[in-house]
Amino acid sequence: MFGWKGKILRVDLSQGSCLVEDTPLGLARDYIGGRGLGVKVLFDEIDPRVEALGAENKLIFATGPLTGTGAPAGGRFIVVSKSPLTGAIANSCCGGYFGAQLKFAGYDLLIIEGKAPEPVYLSIRSEEVAIKPAGHLWGKWTTETEALLKAEIKQKFDIWEASDTSIVSIGPAGENRVRFACVMADGGRAVGRSGVGAVMGSKNLKAITASGRGEVAIADSEGFKKAVMDFLEEGRENKELEKRHMWGTWSLPGRANKTGTQAALNFQTGYFKPFEVFEDPAFIRDNIRVRDEACFGCPFACSKRSRIKDPDYPGTTKGPEHETMALVGSNCGIGDLDDICRANYLCNELGMDTITTGATISCAMELFESGYLPEKDTGCPLNFGNTASMFQLMKETSRRQGFGDLLADGGYAVAEKYGHPELFMGVKKQGMPAWHPQGIEVIGLQYATSNVGACHTKATLPMYEGRKDPAHHVEWTKQDQDALAVVDSCVLCWIIYHGPLWSEKPLVWLRAVTGVDYTADSLALIGERIWNLERLFNLKAGLSGKDDNLPPRITDEPRVNNQVVHLDRMLPEYYRWRGWDESGIPTPEKLLQLGLAGKAGAK
Amino acid sequence: MKIKVDYTRCTGCKLCEVACSLQHTGTVNPWRSRIRVFITEEYCLPVIAGPYTEAACNSKGVRVIDGREFDECVLCRASCPVKPIFKEPDTQIPLKCDFCGEPPDPQCIRWCATEALTLVDE
């Protein structure tokens, strides 16, 4: 068998059992792996109406056939679950080494079920799998959790085992079921969105350590090697390797701000003056960068380890990426780079999604400034730009203390409680990411129709050659959503493969690695199948076409470039391209075409 | 001819391990690679497998280079009885870099995008 390992590790925390099963290979072919195989397993194994933070929900760590192969930018893994923030499907992705180590350990999927009676962590060393007590780790911040586990591994085994082992963990936020808690990995990376960290916390699972000594077999190793060489050559010629390596996402805050498409002041505007300084990304790199860090097998190495000179924020972390800089920065009225880094640091250590944290606090800030949210409730003045209050509330949120208990349920809960749900800037209760949709209209459609709620990893910017004509934006939205579903299933990095530049490559890697004769058409069909299955999951969970919406600020109030997003015009066209009826439900003919007949769980 | 390592350019992508493993085994398995990247929060250090030595040394300590502390056992390129790396996982047969044959064409260098690894004449 090539690409896939053919094994699934199933851990039942209620029973304390760890079982190894065969990966159903037919399903693996039809859903590839990662996000696709993950949603297929979740859809078949749980009722989408279960309580997301109950023991019935499952947490699936999914690799794909390209994980651990060295396919360029193939270092990611996906976590699939039901989201406690949105009530919809969650399929958050993350880089680093965890996916590769899980694969070398021998597994395509790790399925976590049930709930441990006491805090535990899961140790995976190839076939040696054990559930171990984690009382000594509970309450710890994420880097300390990793450091303690690494020290244990070094003592029990050796220094190389500690170097190779990849660790994912939750912080206090996940333990306390903050609905936008994330799972942190490899000292500062995040499985950020949809609150999968809260699901992990609800299972009393503090961390997972993974290392493996197995191989990933390649069907056509000579062809694969040559294809990678060609890719590296292309990357050198078009300077993409150098650009990504140098700047990562740090070239974006200045660019988005300059064009007025930067989320600012709870999306009241698309421009924030203090961000002008970021128009030269060297300002960021020169001030905070420690070094560039790659995910497994990625020649781009776009992520950056950073440090600020403040003894209250010791050590290093990763980021802040563009999305973080926008949401905890400009969107909260904060422009100082060190303050943005402090917010990023706290989110990473406490284990909270930087984007939703920013979206939640910015929403509370606008409620406060509008006079809807009194200071006696917040316990502190919460005007835009008030960093002291923000840092204090972030810590309270992670502990569900004081006003933080409400913030921990997300911005929609806050806005609704104070009678102004329209001031929450999100979709399906998940905050919108960095790009203001009024700057690029079709982004609004992509946020509105995303299965996981507003999300940067599911949106593609129509800024590339061959993608610019607005007449085709709705059609391309459907195509690109399906293509990204394939990318997330391989698993490849959406940042590298979401534009047309390398869009043909996933097919090349998949054919060489797996030996399966995928074609461009069969992959497009698989992507559409995955997207529709996620849609069916959401419909069964109780969502409907009404949830494909945007805040009225985006559709009715021209804030950026005197534009609004005409979702009412785009959505029916989008449903037609999808082959869904006018209320957004996949038609029986469409489901039949996708091999999903009989799966209709709508209504 | 030597492979020069500039660890300050290494990003920890481990494509060198992939390249070496593919070249020598046709599969991807870092434990069968003749080059390994040691990763800490502070740095990434590629280490290339040197000759096998039967005796485990007893002089392990800390080496300071440019103000940074390195574990000498990690810096050491030898495959030895007490070191966990540079052995075939199944058979424990020691591994050694062979410059990918004759003429030398080390694949790790070709896969390294940041030029942390370069081929230099002695």
Domain presence at residue A411: yes
pLDDT of A410 higher than 60: yes
Q: Kindly list the distances between the CA atom of residue A218 and the CA atoms of A100, A368, A509, A511, A513, in Å, as whole numbers in the listed order.
A: 15, 57, 10, 10, 5
Q: What is the pLDDT of residue A579?
A: 96
Percent of chain A with pLDDT over 90: 95
Domain presence at residue A78: yes
The pair of structure tokens assigned to A381 is 């003045």
Q: Complex ipTM, two decimals?
A: 0.97
Q: Rounded to the nearest 5°, which phi and psi values hold at B58?
A: -120, 25
Is residue A201 located within the same domain as residue A278?
Answer: no
Is residue A416 located within the same domain as residue A463?
Answer: no
Q: What's the rounded mean pLDDT across residues A101-120?
A: 98
pLDDT-derived band at A599, boundaries 50, 70, 90: low
Number of domains in chain A: 3
A6: nearest Cα among A230, A280, A216: A216
Is residue A491 within 8 Å of residue A35, measured between CB atoms? yes
Full residue range of the structural domain in which residue A257 is found: 248-424
Is residue A140 located within the same domain as residue A192?
Answer: yes
Distance from A301 to chain B by nearest Cα, in Å?
6
Q: Which residue of B has its CA nearest to A246?
A: B114
Beta bridge partners, A112, equal A11, A59
Q: Which residue of B has its CA nearest to A220?
A: B26
Domain presence at residue A457: yes
Q: Is the dihedral of CA B101, B102, B106, B107 positive or negative?
A: negative
Pick from A82-91, A115-124, A234-243, A323-332: least confident? A234-243
Distance from B101 to chain A by nearest Cα, in Å?
16
DSSP label at B92? Answer: -
Is residue A161 located within the same domain as residue A30?
Answer: yes
For B26, the closest of A69, A218, A293 (CB atoms) is A218
Is residue A282 located within the same domain as residue A336?
Answer: yes
Is residue A150 located within the same domain as residue A191?
Answer: yes
For chain B, say whether A501 makes contact (Cβ under 8 Å): no
Is residue A272 located within the same domain as residue A407?
Answer: yes
Query: Where do the domains of chain B lie?
Result: 2-117
Q: What's the rounded mean pLDDT across residues A209-227?
A: 97
Pick from A539-543, A586-590, A595-599: least confident? A595-599
Is residue A187 located within the same domain as residue A335?
Answer: no
For chain A, say whether B67 makes contact (Cβ under 8 Å): no
Domain presence at residue A167: yes
Contact flag B30-A104 (C-beta cutoff 8 Å)? yes
Is residue A167 located within the same domain as residue A48?
Answer: yes
Contact flag A164-B30 (C-beta cutoff 8 Å)? yes
Q: What is the pLDDT of residues B39-65, one digit of tens each?
A: 998 899 999 999 999 877 876 789 998
Is residue A34 located within the same domain as residue A157?
Answer: yes
Measured from the Cβ of residue A258, the count of other Cβ atoms closer than 10 Å reads 14
Domain presence at residue A328: yes
Contact flag A68-B85 (C-beta cutoff 8 Å)? no
Specify whether the backbone of A402 is left (phi greater than 0), alpha (psi in -120 to 50) or beta. left
Beta bridge partners, B28, equal A216
Q: What is the pLDDT of residue A16?
A: 98
Domain presence at residue A414: yes
pLDDT-derived band at A30, boundaries 50, 70, 90: very high
pLDDT-derived band at A598, boundaries 50, 70, 90: confident
Q: What is the pLDDT of residue B122?
A: 75
Is residue A177 located within the same domain as residue A283?
Answer: no
Q: What is the pLDDT of residues A61-72, one digit of tens each?
A: 999 999 999 999
Residue A381: which CATH number?
Answer: 1.10.569.10
Q: What is the pLDDT of residue A461?
A: 78
For chain B, say whether A348 makes contact (Cβ under 8 Å): no
In chain A, which residues have their Cβ closer than 8 Å to the Cβ of B18?
69-70, 297
Query: Rounded mean pLDDT of chain A?
Result: 96
Domain presence at residue A322: yes
Paired sense of beta strands A89-94 and A109-113, if any: unpaired
Distance from A173 to chain B by nearest Cα, in Å?
23
Secondary structure of residue A197 in the 3-state scheme: helix
A-B contacts at Cβ under 8 angstroms: 103
Distance from B48 to chain A by nearest Cα, in Å?
14
Residue that has been written with the tokens 């000179």 in this structure: A309
Distance from B122 to chain A by nearest Cα, in Å?
27
B22: nearest Cα among A227, A235, A106, A507: A227
Residue A527: which CATH number?
Answer: 1.10.599.10
Q: What is the pLDDT of residue B121?
A: 87
Q: What is the pLDDT of residue B1?
A: 87
Is residue A539 within 8 Å of residue A585, measured between CB atoms? yes
Is residue A142 located within the same domain as residue A257?
Answer: no
Q: What is the pLDDT of residues A478-529, one digit of tens each?
A: 999 999 999 999 999 999 998 888 999 999 999 999 999 999 999 999 999 9
Q: Kindly list the distances between the CA atom of residue A340 and the CA atoms of A20, A323, A324, A356, in Å, as whole numbers in the listed order.
A: 44, 11, 8, 15
Q: Which residue of A has its CA nearest to B7?
A: A291
End-to-end CA distance of chain B: 5
**Ranges of chain B whose pLDDT falls below 50:** none
Q: What is the pLDDT of residue A600?
A: 54
Q: What is the pLDDT of residue A463?
A: 78
Q: Kindly list the distances between the CA atom of residue A384 and the CA atoms of A83, A338, A417, A434, A435, in Å, as whole numbers in the listed order.
A: 29, 17, 20, 17, 19
Residue A124: which CATH number?
Answer: 3.60.9.10
Q: What is the pLDDT of residues A226-278, one digit of tens each?
A: 999 999 999 999 999 999 999 999 999 999 999 999 999 999 999 999 999 99
Q: What is the pLDDT of residue A603?
A: 34
A499 or A396, which is more confident?
A396
The pair of structure tokens assigned to B26 is 């046709």
Q: What is the pLDDT of residue A601?
A: 47
The pair of structure tokens assigned to A71 is 């396919």
pLDDT of A602 higher than 50: no
Beta bridge partners, A22, equal A7
